[in-house]
Amino acid sequence: MPKVAKKFNDYYALYEQRKETIYMEEIKRDKYLNKLITKKENGLVKIVTGIRRSGKSYLLDPMFKNYLLSEGVKSNHIIKLDLDERQNKQYLNPDELDKYIREQIVDNDMYYIILDEIQKVDDFESVLNGFLHIENVDIYVTGSNSKFLSSDIKTEFRGRGDEIRVLPLSFSEFQAAFKGSTDEAWNEYKTFGGLPKILDQKTPEEKSEYLKNLFDRTYLSDIIERHQIQRKDVLDSIVSMIASSVGSLTNPKKISDAFASNAIKDVSINTITSYLDYLEDAFLIKKAERYDVRGKTYISTPFKYYFADIGLRNAKLNFRQLEEDHIMENIIYNELIYRGYNVDVGVVELREGAKRKQTEIDFVCNHIDKRYYIQCALALPTREKTLQEEKSLMNTNDNFRKIIVVKDNYRTWTTEEGITVVGLKEFLLNPNSLDL
């Protein structure tokens, strides 16, 4: 067995005890399926985006395709092409694709066009925009190379696209597909994350290699190709730094100083800023900005980065840094994004005598007229620890709901100050956990 961190060795021992029981159930992505159903026939191109291997193709076929069939849509009114298959190579020519699709439309009933890996077609934007002029056509596309991973993809359609962002599996989705107890599912998830195909890998070594190869040979390669990056070593180092500092404040200046401390002085802050933007643009990481709760203003720097999938983060560090507090914080952040919230890091300034001190709220979550303040803690073993976690929450000067998520707490309770304490698994598995 290759040399890995002690916690990873512990996980491996657990795996050996129960490897005969590990297999997966069907993965359900009802949240995204419902989004597609809601957007059906809205006159726009439905663009399914997201990190590679997050399940975009599976969402359209079989999930959405089966839904259409169940609703009585005839199979010959669902035009599906996998453009990465050799048998469809001729349709990579935009004129051939345009001709083929139009030839399939032979009556006035609605036709549903599903095109996977659309980025392989030259000038695909004009082809899709042309289909929008056909009244009885509804269009759905996915793509997964460096161009289509870009978060600015909607600009290619000049307002004619409707994006559905697919994330890796949430813990509730993962747990539902995992054959085993909730605790066993959590041990898998916090180590190897929620990319759907991780459930197909049989051993810890296979899972580890799958994630590491995917990171280096797919995600980073896409970024390097798109942006023609020359300093691959710098990009790789930045990713490692971000992975090591999940939950910590950072900015390009701090990263530049880290390079300088290692005698690497030829990397400009502009280059670091660009590389961070590329990583975020490819959906690998997401930036959480700091928000002054009392002053109601954003603080430009520093900020925090979180990984779209915790398994990728762990793999990048060769499973050496499996600190549960940082992993838990990243997973909670992803869960809030999955639920549709805009998430910031909260800052509350307090006066202590003549001095002013900034305290932090892990997450300020907003959605339309709702707001929640959330702190993450491994445990609240003492009254003093509880007061410490509550301090910033109690000084927001508003009445929005305030919550502490605790790893090992299995019941929801309320502190003396009226703060709700929710156990981690309850928080992740109950879609209404913010309102308990």
- For residues 350 and 214, membership in a common domain is answered with no
Q: Looking at the predicted structure, is the pLDDT value of residue 276 above 50?
A: yes
Residue that finishes a domain, picked among 321, 338, 355: 338
Does the residue 205 lie in any domain? yes
Backbone torsions φ then ψ of 280, nearest 5 degrees: -70, -40
Flag whether pLDDT at 9 surpasses 50. yes
Is residue 117 domain-resident? yes
pLDDT band (50, 70, 90) for residue 154: low
Q: What is the pLDDT of residue 149?
A: 57
Q: Is 1 inside any structural domain?
A: no
**Residue that is last in its domain, among 143, 166, 189:** 166
Q: What is the mean pLDDT of residues 204-219?
A: 95
What CATH number did the domain enclosing 347 receive? 3.40.1350.10
**What is the reported pLDDT for 157?**
73
- The answer to whether residues 280 and 334 belong to one domain is yes
Q: Given this model, what pLDDT does residue 152 score?
A: 60
The reply to whether 206 and 162 lie within a common domain is no
In a domain, 57, yes or no: yes
The whole-number average pLDDT for the span 11-15 is 46
What is the distance between the alpha carbons of residues 80 and 60, in angstroms, rounded to a whole number?
10
Residues 128 and 265 in one domain: no
Number of domains comprising the chain = 3
The alpha-helical segments, DSSP class H, found in 105-143 are 124-131
Residues 85 and 225 both lie in one domain: no
pLDDT value at 5 more than 80: no
**In this model, does residue 185 exceed pLDDT 80?**
yes
pLDDT grade for 355, boundaries at 50, 70 and 90 = confident
Check whether residue 127 and residue 244 sit in a common domain.
no
Residue-wise pLDDT for 67-82, tens only, equals 999 999 999 999 999 9
Q: Which of 338, 366, 381 is the last residue of a domain?
A: 338
Identify the band that residue 106 occupies on the pLDDT scale cut at 50, 70 and 90. Answer: very high
The band of 321, judged by pLDDT with boundaries at 50, 70 and 90, is confident
Q: Is residue 427 scored above 50 in pLDDT? A: yes
Rg (CA), the chain: 23
Please state which of the ranges 16-25, 31-40, 321-330, 400-409 shows the lowest mean pLDDT: 16-25
Confidence of residue 354 (pLDDT cuts 50, 70, 90): confident
Residue 12 has pLDDT above 50, yes or no: no
Same domain, 83 and 17: no
Considering the domain architecture, whether residues 59 and 179 belong to the same structural domain is answered as no
pLDDT score for 297 = 96
Same domain, 141 and 93: yes
Residues 244 and 317 in one domain: yes
Segments forming the whole domain that contains residue 202: 6-25+171-338
* Same-domain check for residues 210 and 287: yes
* CATH at 54: 3.40.50.300
Cα–Cα distance, 428 to 311 (Å, whole number): 17
Q: Dig out the tokens for 171 from the structure.
A: 């813990």
Quick: pLDDT tens for 366-421: 999 899 999 999 999 999 999 999 999 999 999 999 999 999 877 899 999 999 99
Query: For residue 83, what are the CA distances in angstroms to 27, 86, 120, 163?
Result: 24, 8, 7, 20
62 and 154 inside one domain:
yes
Which pLDDT belongs to residue 146? 59
Task: Tell me the C-alpha to C-alpha distance, in Å, between residue 291 and each of 272, 299, 313, 335, 395.
Answer: 23, 6, 25, 20, 14
Residue 18 pLDDT > 70:
no
> What rounded mean pLDDT belongs to the chain?
90
Asked if pLDDT for residue 64 goes beyond 90, the answer is yes
| pLDDT score, position 2 | 46
pLDDT tops 50 at residue 242: yes
pLDDT greater than 70 at residue 7 = no
